[in-house]
């Protein structure tokens, strides 16, 4: 298991919600449902005005940038936490 993602979050979805996530995943060529959910979470946080590493490439598939101590909120390009 990836030490940077040690927390598990279980979510129950309706068939329609799962289909929407799968549609998003395949449209954006994401490797897993988890990657798609993280990306959608990042979009939602940004829409709510939370700085969720704006400018991160979707290939990073992370909500926050990774610092030396794991996930930290900050600039993922410079590696600085916030």
- The pTM of this model reads 0.57
Longest dimension (CA), the chain: 39
Q: What is the pLDDT of residue 73?
A: 46
Separation between Cα atoms, residue 11 and residue 14, nearest integer Å:
10
Displacement of CA 7 from its chain's centroid (Å): 13
Q: What is the pLDDT of residue 35?
A: 93
What contacts 40, CB < 8 A, 6 or more positions away? 21, 24
Kindly state the helix (H) or strand (E) to which residue 74 belongs, with its residue range.
strand 74-75
The residues that bridge with 75 in the sheet, in sequence order, are 80
The low-confidence residues of the chain, meaning pLDDT below 50, are 1-2, 61, 63-64, 71-82
């Amino acid at each position: 298991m990836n030490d940077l993602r040690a927390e598990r979050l279980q979510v129950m979805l309706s068939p329609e919600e799962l289909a929407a996530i799968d549609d998003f995943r395949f449209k954006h060529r994401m490797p897993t449902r988890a990657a798609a959910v993280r990306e959608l979470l990042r979009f939602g946080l940004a829409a709510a005005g939370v700085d969720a590493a704006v400018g991160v490439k979707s290939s990073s598939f992370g909500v926050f940038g990774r610092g030396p101590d794991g996930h930290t909120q900050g600039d993922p390009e410079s590696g600085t936490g916030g």
